[in-house]
Structures are given as structure tokens and as C-alpha cells.
């Protein structure tokens, strides 16, 4: 671990409440812990009833579980947020330009800023997208940028989620829950609202409608179905946007358009917010065994008959191997210095890096290049000798599959548990919408918190919880 | 509206209605067993039959006992029509059509599932049975109440109603058919006390005792019961009532969508026989034959609705 003490967002390093937490701290002082505990149980009851559950892959029985919710909000000042959102906007703009470039002339490769094999040999690169012009020129309509903080002014981007970022329903439900449980807090704090997200999203998606659209664009959400871990979110978003939630077998190609089977026959869909992975999107163009997609949708897409959000092939931008090039990418396309820093990263495909990493496994975080959700990842400092040995075996067999990063001392925000307030590590995923009309960042996002003491893994699939995230109006 | 959504709604409400009807049948069976002398386990055969669970039960059991019958109807995972199975299916369908129902309907359904799952986690003891059965009916009533009070009266609601009344008509026809011999003319003249218990059990299993008394006083005959459950449009579980509602809702859909379809033809033909028939004609013709015919036509109607509204590819 690093030598520096952990930065706590509520108390800073001085044991005096940091400004954004002033009102919350005062409120907490006056509260009876027994009442708060009752409130916590109440929140859980509420979540169970509304059905906010997620499915955990690799578990047979407990197919539905709640993500634990902590009642202490994570709070940012208006100026902290402004700094962050400028950085996010810059990064998201660069990601879209990068995607356009990668699927067209690949100037960045020609300029020698990214090695050609990083693209060609990358599974996330979709040759089928080369030369395709997505409606409105937008590739990533919805982005989630994962941020961590290590000090007052130090944020890092941990990863970019440019495929199908999830978690926004928790952002919305967490706020709803806090509003119901502690309305008084929203009177003493001026918290910027997040509830416009679905309406904004619908508008943003409609603004990306393809040329073939007649009249008002029809938007639909494409889900793999009720057994998907994020089904709740898919249904939630469709409901909030007031659009249909479709599955692959509801859709087919009719007269060169993607159409959904309604009770009155097939009706065209203009914009498809798909929560189905690229591989499964079109059995004719990708995995032939997919039951989740729509045969021939890629052909309609290429002909400009439908907007797919996010565009197929965006995974090349959030691939962990590409991640380490993000500072170059931002600079190359925006001509500016990156406002948000990357975590220093060793690409284990490179020999020097590999040698360093294999000697230092116990102190590094090592991630599989194509992994997600905290699976296939080693957190050196908290791993047992046995874990490290097992991991080393996989790692040395295929070093190019891994990147490594120093173990950051992630900031903490208190959670409320049996002993009262106690610090736990957090990260932050703000949600970004992109359309030809601009980039819209919802103030706040999803704060994930590692509920185990000292743990740095915040993934919900690994025992993480969530918090409401506030951006104050100043 | 998606065809798949229409399918999900239709079945969600069929399952809810079925769970409720099953709990009512169990209650009737239990009551019949308790109020009669002698070996009562056999009383459960017609109950299982009325619930269309007799074949499944016999395949899974060597002998018929009261305990086994009740457990089979309430919670057996191997029985796709058990209360637990149907409530689970109703909830699964509700999840699939989450965007078509209101939050209150979803929460009532999810709440019903959670509560009933907890109640049926273990074998239900005799002592707990009445409360468990009451809770099942209350929970499904909450969903119905939320549906009634919060859902838009549009095509979504029409499919909800179609599922509800098709299932209910099917249930009433089956109960009558299992007990038809009690209502036959030969039995009518007798009026022995045993028959009175049997008649009462028929009324009980469709929650119609009070209604019947209201309509016929205490002097109602077996013929009156048949007339009440088949033809009386005031009685919300009668065939006439259910078929009338099916006809109404199909009519709204056809109005909405602007195209007439075959399902309506089926429903109209069925209505002509249920709504405008004379009870003596039905009894002369043969009650059993009449009910079998109704059951077949209800099944055909259900299938036609699935086709006409593109429930699946």
C-alpha cells in the first residue's frame, strides 16, 4: 500500500468536517442511531418490494439479490463537480472521435500514437464497423466514466465504460429512497436533481434518429430478457422513458427497417437502445448461435435504417489494453492536455513491464484485459499467498492478457453500520449522454462502496454496496 | 403494444386468477371433509379434478391422502398449477411486462409473491391452513385492486381482463362439471341433507353462497344453482358474466385497433349460448355435454386471441 494516509471525503485529513458535509454532519449528530437503523431496514424492505434486484452470475440458487444501500450520501461541492465534468466531457468527446477514426482512416495509428496491432489483434475491434457512419456521427450515446479519488484534488479515471454502462437505475432509485426517507436533508442541502435522466436520455436518443425515420422517432430498449443481471434496469429505463422494452424475438427486419411485433402487426423502430452485447446483436453478422439479437440488423444499420445505441464496436475504446493509451488519445483528438488523469498502467505485453509486474504481484492490482465486473482480477495487497500463486500461473501463461496498476489508496466515505459511522472505500460512476446536440452529464452518478473494511473492490457482484451521490448547488 | 407484452399480461392475470381459484377449491374441500362423516380422503379426488390437477397428482402419488392433496395443490414444485407455481409464474410474467403495468400493480404482485412464498416455505399445518388460504386470496385481491384503481383503460387493460375472465369461466365450468351429477334432475327431487352440503360446496367454491341466497332466498333448488352459475349476469363468476366481459373487452380492442377478427366470432358464438340460453334446455340437453362444449370453446377462444394479437411469432 502507499504510504500516504487515506483521504476521507467527509473528514478530510484534519478531523474537521469538509465543507460539503457540514450540514449532513450536523444532522447526523442530532439523530438517534436506533431510528437510523430502523430507516436502513425500511429502505431494504422498499427495495425488495420494488424489485430492484440483480442477478449474480455463477450462482445457481440466489438468482436475485439486493445491492446493499447505505444511507450516508456521498457529497461533492459544485466546484469539485465542475472540474470533474470538464474532464469527463473532454474525455467523452475524445472517445467518440477516436471511434470514428478507428473505424475510418485510423489516423492515430498512422501517426504512430497507438501500435497497429493493438487494434487489429483486439477482439473488441469490429471490422464490420469499418466505413460505417452511425447516424449523427455518435458512437457512444451513453457512457459511464469510473473515477476514483485519492486526495483533495486528485481524481483518476479507473476505466471508461463505452459499451453498455449499467447502474443508472441505482443512481435514480437511491435518490428516490433518500428523498422518501430523509426529506429534511434536502431542505438543508441544495442538491442538484438527477431525476431528469430518463427524459434527457429519451430526447438524446431521439436526436440520433436515422434518416429513414418518419415522423416522431420511435425509441425502444432491447434487453436479453428477465434472466439478465441488469433486467430490472432495462425495464426501469424503458418504463421511465415511456418506450417499449423489446427482446430479440420481438424484432425482425421488415422492408429494410427493424420492426417490432405489436398486437397490430409490425411497426418500425428508429432508435434501439440495446443492452445486448455486440456478439449477440446479429446472428447473421456475429455469433450465429445467438438467440438474443435480430438477424440482419447490422445490414439495416449499415444502410442507415436504424440507430443502435451504443454503436457496435465501441468496446475498442474501453478495452483495458487501450486504456493505457487514453492520455495520448485525448491529446491527439482534442489538442489539449487531458484534464483527468489515468491511473499509471503497466502493459504486461511489454517485456519490461511484464518483468516488473511479475516481481511485484503482491502490491499491484492486475486486471484481465477483457474482463469486467471485477472477475479475473487480482488485488495484490489483500490477496492470500495461495491466490497470488494461482493467479501467477494464469498470468505467466499469457502476460499480454493483463495490465497492472499500483494499488491506489482510494478515498473513503463513511457508511452507517452497527458501530455508527465508519469509513469505507468508494468509487464513482457518472453517467454521460451524447447526441449531436451536445454532451450532457447528470450531476452525481453512482457511488459504489466496498462494504468490507479495508476492501478496495466495490463491484456489486463482489459484495459492494451503493450510496446516493450529491452534487451541491453553490 | 408488443404482442409479447399482451401475452405476458394475459397470462399474468390467468395465473393470478388460477391461484385464487385453487385456494378457494382447497377451502371448499377442507370444509366438505370436516363436515362429513366417514372416510373423507376420497373427497379430495373431485377437488383435484375440479382444479384439473388429478392426473398430475396420480402420476406423482401412489395413494390419495388429504395431506398429500392439499400439499400438491398448494406448493408442490412438480405441479405447474400449484398456488406457488402459478404465483411464481404470475410474478415472472409481471417482470416481463413490467413496463405495461403500474408501479402499484407490480409492487402488489411482487408483494404477493414474497408473502405467499414465505407462507408456503414449509408444509402448511392444519391449524395454519385457513389463514394461509385467506392470505392467498387477500394478496391476489390486492393485485386486482391495484389493477382496478391504477391502470389505464386501454388495450393493456383489455388483455388483463381477457386473461382474468377466460380463466375464471374455465374454472367455473370445471367446478360445475365435476359436480354436475349432484345437480342432475334425478338428484333434484331428493333434497337430502347430504345433497345440500354438496350444493353448498359448489357455491362456496365460487364464493357465491351469499349471492345465491340474495337471489333465491333459502329455497333455491339445484336447478337454480345451475342457472345462477351459468346464466346469471349479476354473479361475477358465472359463465354468462365472464363471457360477457370477454365480449366487452374484445369489442374495445377491436374498436381501438379498427379491425375485426376471428376471436370475436368465437366469443359471440359462445355468448349466444351462455347468455341467451334457457336452463331447462341446457339440462335437457345434458349439463355435462354443455359444460364440455363450453370448455372446448373457451380453449379455442384463448388460442384464437393468441393468434389474432400476435402473442408469439
Written as one string, the DSSP assignment of A246-306 is E-GGGEEEETTEEEEEETTEEEE-SEEEE-S-HHHH-TTTS-TT-SSS-TTHHHHHHTTS-
A4 pLDDT band, cuts 50/70/90, is low
What is the mean pLDDT of the segment spanning A247-275?
96
A325 pLDDT exceeds 90? yes
Mean pLDDT lowest among A57-61, A382-386, B77-81, B290-294 = A57-61
For every one of its 313 residues, what pLDDT tens digit does chain B have, with 9 covering 90 and above?
Answer: 999 999 999 999 999 999 999 999 999 888 877 776 656 677 788 889 889 999 999 999 999 999 999 999 999 999 999 999 999 999 999 999 999 999 999 999 999 999 999 999 999 999 999 999 999 999 999 999 999 999 999 999 999 999 999 999 999 999 888 877 766 655 554 444 556 777 788 888 888 989 998 998 887 788 888 899 999 999 999 999 999 999 999 999 999 999 899 999 999 999 988 777 899 899 888 888 999 999 999 999 999 999 999 999 8
A60 pLDDT exceeds 50? no
Cell digits for A58? 455463477
- The pLDDT, as a whole number, for residue B38 is 56
For chain A, give the percent of residues with pLDDT over 90. Answer: 72
Q: Å from B107 to nearest chain A CA?
A: 6
Count of H-run helices and E-run strands, chain A: 16, 21
Q: Do A245 and B98 touch (CB under 8 A)?
A: yes
| Chain A interface with B: residues with Cβ < 8 Å | 48-51, 225-226, 231, 235-236, 238-239, 244-247, 249-250, 260-265
Q: Å from B172 to nearest chain A CA?
A: 29
The answer, for B17 touching chain A at a CB cutoff of 8 Å, is no
- Residues from chain B contacting residue A247 (CB–CB below 8 Å): 4
What is the mean pLDDT of the segment spanning A382-393?
90
Q: Which of A231, A245, A263 is closest, CB to CB, to B309?
A: A263
| Residue B4 DSSP label | H
Q: Which of A49, A239, A249 is closest, CB to CB, to B98?
A: A239
Q: For CA atoms A385, A386, A392, A395, give the dihedral sign.
A: negative
Q: For CA atoms B282, B285, B291, B293, give the dihedral sign.
A: negative
A2 pLDDT band, cuts 50/70/90, is very low
A138-149 residue pLDDT tens: 999 999 999 999
Q: Do B1 and A262 touch (CB under 8 A)?
A: yes
The answer, for B2 touching chain A at a CB cutoff of 8 Å, is yes
B3-35 helix and B129-150 helix, angle to the nearest 10 degrees: 150
Q: Which of B89, B94, B95 to mutate to test the interface with A (most CBs of A within 10 A)?
A: B95
The rounded distance, in Å, linking the Cα atoms of A144 and A162 is 7
- The pLDDT, as a whole number, for residue A65 is 61
Mean pLDDT lowest among A57-66, A311-320, A395-404, B37-46 = A57-66
Q: Which of A49, A250, A263 is closest, CB to CB, to B110?
A: A49
> Nearest residue on chain B to A266, judged by CA atoms?
B2
The pTM of this model reads 0.87
Q: Å from A238 to nearest chain B CA?
A: 7
A374 pLDDT band, cuts 50/70/90, is low
For chain A, the average pLDDT equals 90
- Nearest Cα neighbor of A365 from A404, A393, A322 is A404
- Residues from chain B contacting residue A265 (CB–CB below 8 Å): 310
Q: Do A263 and B1 touch (CB under 8 A)?
A: yes
Q: Which of A235, A264, A265 is closest, CB to CB, to B98?
A: A235
A55 pLDDT exceeds 70? no
The answer, for B193 touching chain A at a CB cutoff of 8 Å, is no
Cell digits for B113? 409473491
Q: Å from A80 to nearest chain B CA?
A: 36
The rounded distance, in Å, linking the Cα atoms of A129 and A207 is 21
The answer, for B110 touching chain A at a CB cutoff of 8 Å, is yes
* Burial of B296 (C-beta count, 10 Å sphere; 0-12/13-18/19+): exposed
- The pLDDT, as a whole number, for residue A61 is 39
A40 pLDDT exceeds 70? yes
- The pLDDT, as a whole number, for residue A321 is 83
A265 pLDDT band, cuts 50/70/90, is very high
Q: Which of B106, B114, B155 is closest, CB to CB, to A263?
A: B155
- The pLDDT, as a whole number, for residue A267 is 96
- Nearest Cα neighbor of A196 from A164, A161, A168 is A168
DSSP string for B151-184: S-SSHHHHHHHHHHHHHHHHHHHHHHHHTHHHHS
The rounded distance, in Å, linking the Cα atoms of A50 and A69 is 14
Q: Do B111 and A49 touch (CB under 8 A)?
A: yes
- The pLDDT, as a whole number, for residue A56 is 42
- Residues from chain A contacting residue B309 (CB–CB below 8 Å): 263
- The pLDDT, as a whole number, for residue A41 is 86
A164-206 residue pLDDT tens: 999 999 999 999 999 988 999 999 999 999 999 999 999 999 9
Amino acid at each position: 500500500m502507499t504510504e500516504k494516509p487515506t483521504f476521507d471525503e467527509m473528514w478530510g485529513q484534519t478531523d474537521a468536517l469538509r465543507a460539503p458535509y457540514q450540514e449532513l454532519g450536523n444532522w447526523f449528530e442530532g439523530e438517534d442511531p436506533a431510528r437510523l437503523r430502523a430507516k436502513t431496514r425500511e429502505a431494504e424492505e422498499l427495495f425488495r418490494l420494488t424489485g430492484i434486484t440483480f442477478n449474480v452470475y455463477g450462482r445457481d440458487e440466489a438468482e436475485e439479490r439486493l445491492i446493499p444501500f447505505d444511507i450516508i450520501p456521498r457529497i461533492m461541492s459544485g466546484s469539485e463537480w465542475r472540474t470533474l465534468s470538464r474532464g469527463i466531457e473532454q474525455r467523452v468527446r475524445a472517445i467518440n472521435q477516436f471511434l470514428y477514426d478507428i473505424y475510418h482512416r485510423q489516423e492515430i495509428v498512422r501517426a504512430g500514437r497507438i501500435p497497429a496491432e493493438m487494434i487489429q489483434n483486439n477482439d473488441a475491434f469490429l471490422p464490420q464497423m469499418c466505413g460505417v457512419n452511425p447516424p449523427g456521427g455518435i458512437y457512444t450515446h451513453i457512457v459511464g466514466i469510473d473515477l476514483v479519488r485519492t486526495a483533495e484534488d486528485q481524481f483518476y479515471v479507473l476505466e471508461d465504460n463505452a459499451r453498455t454502462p449499467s447502474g443508472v437505475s441505482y443512481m435514480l432509485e437511491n435518490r428516490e429512497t433518500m428523498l422518501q426517507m430523509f426529506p429534511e436533508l434536502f431542505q438543508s442541502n441544495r442538491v442538484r436533481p438527477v431525476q431528469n435522466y430518463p427524459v434527457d436520455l429519451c430526447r438524446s436518443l431521439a436526436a440520433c434518429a436515422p434518416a429513414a425515420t418518419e415522423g416522431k422517432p420511435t425509441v425502444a430498449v432491447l434487453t436479453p430478457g428477465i434472466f439478465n443481471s441488469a433486467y430490472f434496469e432495462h425495464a426501469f429505463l424503458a418504463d421511465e422513458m415511456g418506450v417499449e422494452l423489446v427482446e430479440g424475438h420481438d424484432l425482425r427486419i421488415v422492408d429494410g427497417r427493424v420492426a417490432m411485433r405489436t398486437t397490430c402487426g409490425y411497426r418500425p423502430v428508429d432508435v434501439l437502445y440495446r443492452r445486448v452485447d455486440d456478439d449477440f446483436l446479429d446472428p447473421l453478422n456475429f455469433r450465429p448461435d445467438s438467440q438474443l439479437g435480430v438477424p440482419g440488423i447490422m445490414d439495416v444499420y449499415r444502410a442507415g435504417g436504424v440507430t443502435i445505441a451504443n454503436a457496435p464496436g465501441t468496446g475498442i475504446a474501453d478495452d483495458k489494453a487501450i486504456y493505457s493509451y487514453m492520455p495520448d488519445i485525448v491529446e491527439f483528438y482534442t489538442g489539449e492536455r487531458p484534464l483527468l488523469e489515468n491511473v499509471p498502467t503497466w502493459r504486461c505485453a511489454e517485456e519490461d513491464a511484464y518483468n516488473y509486474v511479475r516481481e511485484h504481484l503482491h502490491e499491484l492490482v492486475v486486471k484481465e484485459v477483457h474482463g469486467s465486473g471485477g472477475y479475473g482480477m487480482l488485488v495484490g495487497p489483500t490477496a492470500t499467498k495461495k491466490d497470488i500463486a494461482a493467479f501467477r500461473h494464469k498470468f505467466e501463461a499469457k502476460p499480454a492478457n493483463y495490465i497492472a496498476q499500483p494499488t491506489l489508496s482510494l478515498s473513503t466515505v463513511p457508511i452507517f453500520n452497527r458501530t455508527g459511522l465508519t469509513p469505507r472505500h468508494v468509487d464513482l460512476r457518472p453517467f454521460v449522454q451524447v447526441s449531436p446536440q451536445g454532451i450532457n452529464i447528470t450531476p452525481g452518478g453512482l457511488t459504489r462502496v466496498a462494504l468490507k473494511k479495508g476492501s478496495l473492490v466495490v463491484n456489486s457482484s463482489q459484495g459492494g454496496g451503493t450510496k446516493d451521490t450529491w452534487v451541491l448547488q453553490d | 403494444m408488443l404482442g409479447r407484452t399482451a401475452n405476458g399480461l394475459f397470462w399474468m392475470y390467468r395465473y393470478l386468477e388460477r391461484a385464487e381459484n385453487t385456494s378457494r377449491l382447497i377451502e371448499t374441500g377442507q370444509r366438505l371433509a370436516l363436515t362429513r362423516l366417514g372416510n373423507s380422503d376420497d373427497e379430495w379426488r373431485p377437488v383435484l379434478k375440479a382444479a384439473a390437477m388429478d392426473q398430475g397428482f396420480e402420476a406423482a402419488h401412489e395413494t390419495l391422502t388429504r395431506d398429500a392433496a392439499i400439499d400438491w395443490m398448494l406448493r408442490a414444485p412438480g405441479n405447474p398449477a400449484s398456488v406457488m407455481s402459478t404465483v411464481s409464474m404470475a410474478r415472472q410474467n409481471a417482470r416481463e411486462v413490467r413496463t405495461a403495468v403500474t408501479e402499484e400493480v407490480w409492487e402488489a404482485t411482487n408483494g404477493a409473491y414474497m408473502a405467499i412464498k414465505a407462507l408456503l416455505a414449509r408444509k402448511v399445518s392444519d391449524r395454519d391452513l385457513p389463514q394461509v388460504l385467506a392470505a392467498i386470496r387477500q394478496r391476489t385481491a390486492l393485485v386486482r385492486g391495484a389493477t382496478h384503481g391504477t391502470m389505464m383503460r386501454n388495450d393493456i387493460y383489455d388483455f388483463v381482463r381477457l386473461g382474468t375472465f377466460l380463466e375464471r369461466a374455465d374454472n367455473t365450468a370445471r367446478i360445475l362439471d365435476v359436480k354436475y351429477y349432484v345437480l342432475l334432475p334425478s338428484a333434484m327431487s331428493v333434497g337430502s341433507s347430504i345433497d345440500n352440503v354438496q350444493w353448498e360446496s359448489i357455491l362456496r367454491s365460487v364464493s357465491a353462497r351469499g349471492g345465491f341466497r340474495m337471489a333465491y332466498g333459502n329455497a333455491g333448488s339445484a336447478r337454480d344453482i345451475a342457472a345462477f352459475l351459468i346464466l346469471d349476469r349479476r354473479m361475477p363468476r358465472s359463465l354468462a358474466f365472464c363471457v360477457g366481459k370477454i365480449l366487452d373487452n374484445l369489442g374495445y380492442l377491436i374498436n381501438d385497433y379498427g379491425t375485426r377478427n376471428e376471436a370475436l366470432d368465437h366469443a359471440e358464438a359462445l355468448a349466444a349460448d351462455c347468455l341467451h340460453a334457457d336452463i331447462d334446455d341446457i339440462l335437457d340437453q345434458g349439463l355435462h355435454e354443455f359444460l364440455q362444449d363450453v370448455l372446448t370453446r373457451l380453449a379455442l377462444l384463448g388460442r384464437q386471441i393468441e393468434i389474432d394479437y400476435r402473442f408469439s411469432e
